[in-house]
Structure 1
């Protein structure tokens, strides 16, 4: 075969390999994500903007796929299936955190890194602990470790959603988590009211019995935003100081 023919074959092979890689679908199941994650400062995926810092409540988030937005890493940016997309802005500033699809609380505690000046940490995790048969007693210390790493002013621990594959185990874990949060003096909130039908997901609110629909992520974001503002209060931007007075404006008989 002539040299030119070899070159054409090599070029075609490279193009095919590139197209194949680009078409590979990312994992979407909470149990199937792989790869190591990193704590991130706020970053956005194409098409989903991170609201600019407004001097509002600084919020860090930690969790699994229910926080990252599917079987992915939070470091890949916010998407339509990331609840923080709908919680940020207008007095709530997203400042980073860690989340990885398929991760347990223990994995998150080992991977999370400090984030500066966090007003509120929103921590929502436990579904994958239930999936793997871990008890809350085995996971409890990891909640503490995450809080100790972030060192926020306030801690909001969110309930895990229904888990259709093991609803009783999820409900048992949930009850123990709520009592633990109360003992710690943190704030417990259940943002999943829209999705609950007893111990399972309500019809039409889930894509797989683990994750909500995109509309569900939006409802989740609004509920968690309310929880953040309830514990921290909307932070007012301090007014600018008045400019120094002109000596000519001083009242008669006074000095500046």
Structure 2
């Protein structure tokens, strides 16, 4: 009776007894592991990239749903010629040409540039044809120097300026004096006087950012490259002065 039993056991071993013993060994190994041991899942890339909020010691976190109010910002728009645009037309809120005062003005911490219309060589008639309504708080108009070159009479310039402001639809207006012109000093001074009077009559602000750069209607030495346009340094200074006027008006 022993011989058949031995034969049966040998047959079982040949048919998978080894796998059975491996399973038993694995089971015992699992049973012998430390009870309650937990393996932490790996940290994903997403978890590593999510920043943790940092709060300064003693700071109070804002209540849920509470937004922090932004600082007051005045949006300004422009209408002008090469003195404003530089030597290439203004493209939206992008100044393409050199010589513009806008880049310096937009550095003012309380101002945001909203665009407008400014093209080299433009007269007030050209500006009236090109200007469109713009979403801004303050409009700066610097216009008229090319009217002098074209021989445009004051009644036309005045009418154009009034219509330009109406077309832009901006509630607050800053009217700037035109810069000196070495070839037309007397006419420049006369036009600036009329611009000041127009601003007063309309309740607009008037600013003359060129005062210390002009001498009886002509440029002070070293402030202009051609007797009409300011140097880059002067343009930057004028931008700062116009920005201050806008901030005060807005």
Counterpart-to-counterpart distance in 1, 2:240 and 2:98: 13
Q: Give the C-alpha shift of residue 112 in structure 1.
A: 0.8
| Higher alpha-carbon deviation: 153-162 or 141-150 | 141-150
Distance in 2 between residues matched to 1:134 and 1:54, nearest whole Å: 43
1:54 to partner: Cα distance:
7.3
Cα displacement (A) at 1:153: 2.0
The counterpart of 1:142, out of the listed 126, 151, 160, is: 160
SS across alignment from 2:164 = helix
Q: Do structure 1's residue 68 and structure 2's residue 88 form an aligned pair?
A: no
User: Equivalents in 2 of 1:156, 1:66: separation in Å?
Assistant: 16
User: Counterpart of 1:130 in 2: which secondary structure?
Assistant: helix
Give the TM-score of the pair, scaled to structure 2: 0.68
In structure 1, stretches of 5+ residues that fail to align are: 1-52, 233-256
User: Is the Cα contact below 8 Å between 1:135 and 1:173 reproduced in 2?
Assistant: no
Q: Are the equivalent residues in 1 in contact too, given 2:189–2:216 (CA < 8 A)?
A: no
User: What's the offset of the Cα at 1:55?
Assistant: 5.6
**Deviation at residue 144 of structure 1 after TM alignment:** 1.2
1:111-130, aligned counterparts within 5 Å?
111-116=130-135, 118-130=136-148
CA distance in 2, matches of 1:151, 1:133: 28
Larger Cα-atom Rg: 2
Corresponding residue of 1:222: 240
Aligned counterpart, 2:198? 180
Shift of 1:178: 1.1
Query: Pairwise CA RMSD of aligned residues?
Result: 1.6
Displacement of 1:198 after TM fit?
2.0
- 2:222 and 2:240 map into 1 onto residues whose CA distance is 19
Per-residue CA deviations over 1:133-158 (Å, capped at 9, x if unaligned) read: 11221111111111111111210000
SS in 2 for 1:74: coil
Structure 2, unmatched stretches of 5+, are 1-69
TM-score by length of 1: 0.67
**Equivalent in the alignment of 1:191:** 209
In 2: Cα distance, 1:136 partner to 1:174 partner: 11
The count of residues paired between Structure 1 and Structure 2 equals: 178
Separation (CA, whole Å) in 2 of partners of 1:180 and 1:145: 13
| Per-residue CA distance 1:94-126 (angstroms, 9 max, x = gap) | 01100010110111011111112x110000010
Whole-Å separation in 2 of the counterparts to 1:211 and 1:151: 29
| Deviation of 1:172 (Å) | 1.2
Residue number in structure 2 paired with 1:5: none
Contact kept? 1:136, 1:177, Cα under 8 Å: no
1:204-219 matches, within 5 Å, as 204-219=222-237
Q: Give the structure with the higher percent helix.
A: 2
Structure 1 distance, partners of 2:120, 2:204, is 25
Q: Structure 1 stretches (4+) deviating beyond 2 angstroms?
A: none
2:37 counterpart residue number: none
Structure 2 partner of 1:102: 121
Counterpart-to-counterpart distance in 2, 1:130 and 1:215: 25
